[in-house]
Structure 1
Amino acid sequence: MAMLCAVIVTGAVVVGVVSASAEGSRVSTGLTGEAEVPGPGDPDGRGRAVVSLNGRAVCFDLSFLKIGPPMAAHIHEGPPDVAGPIVVTFFMDEAGLPAELRGVRGCVRHVDRDLVADIKANPNDYYVNVHNAAFPAGAIRGQLRDN
């Protein structure tokens, strides 16, 4: 199982992020409650996810607004109309992140190379979502796409 390496600081998160290189790439998405399937997601919630893929590392820069404290965020496999399985966990915290936090960055290392390659090649087959106590099935979601 992949390990999460992130340091959370009130109001900001500081982590070295693997930048896109010749062998790496970035995918991203806007996140909304409306996009959650089966729904409902948080009608006021929104955010953005930028994901850097390099070798076996999946690094993320995640922002979120107008949602309760996030308890988890993941990449799932599935088209826009499907609630698919989790394939990469960005973070999980049953207590939720601090309420004043509006974003988090980090890297998940030792991800299966074939999975990373497939996310690079077919980002639209994957989506990011953020869960919280009010919306445990997902508060905001967005389908990944090439940058």
Structure 2
Amino acid sequence: MHTRNLLAALVLAGAVVASPAVAHAAKLAATLTGAEQTGGGDTDGSGAFAAEIDPDSGDLCYTLTVKNIAPATMAHIHKGAAGSDGDVVVTLNVTGTDGDECSAVQHELAKEIVANPAGYYVNVHNADFPKGAIRGQLVKTAD
């Protein structure tokens, strides 16, 4: 009986030691300006995006704030390098400074964004600038 309990304890201990560490969420940010928007944006506008994204679960929690632009009609993360336009990969909401929003993204997309944040950008659209009022490339920030 003691041998069986000892064996079970050793097996469980081995499973705990052998299990992989859980990945931590990556922290991302973007500073949005009208000057960064391809084709011209709102030169008076600005914004800030701060996020944590877990590449394993696909959880994305973020805040998105804007200043000096007409009310936002849409906001997105697009795949695209600085100076080029790209496809929408995540739809966002402008949260303001009072809270954050969380959503799920596809695991593979989350991994791609974490591996190459500079290949993605955030932009905010409004009625005055339907193609985008402000924009900023994603960057990884310190953990």
Q: TM-score, normalised by structure 1?
A: 0.74
- Alpha-carbon contact 1:90-1:107 (below 8 Å) kept: no
The RMSD of aligned alpha carbons is: 1.8
Q: How many residues align?
A: 117
- Alpha-carbon contact 1:65-1:102 (below 8 Å) kept: no
Amino acid at match of 2:110: V
- Alpha-carbon contact 2:61-2:100 (below 8 Å) kept: yes
- Write the distance in 2 (CA, Å) between the matches of 1:102 and 1:27: 17
Corresponding position of 1:87 = 89
Higher gyration radius (CA): 2
- In structure 1, the gaps of 5 or more residues are 1-20, 92-96
- Write the distance in 2 (CA, Å) between the matches of 1:69 and 1:105: 18
Amino acid at match of 1:139: A
1:108 paired to 2:103: yes
* Structure showing greater relative contact order (alpha-carbon pairs closer than 8 Å, 6 or more residues apart): 1
Structure showing the higher strand proportion among its residues: 1
1:130 paired to 2:124: yes
- Alpha-carbon contact 2:63-2:96 (below 8 Å) kept: no
Amino acid at match of 1:45: G
Corresponding position of 1:146 = 140
1:26 paired to 2:27: yes
- Write the distance in 2 (CA, Å) between the matches of 1:48 and 1:137: 18
Cα deviations by residue, 1:43-98 (Å, 9 ceiling, x for unpaired): 1000110121022112221111000001111100000111100000013xxxxx8x
TM-fit CA distance, 1:22: 4.5
Structure showing the higher helix proportion among its residues: 2
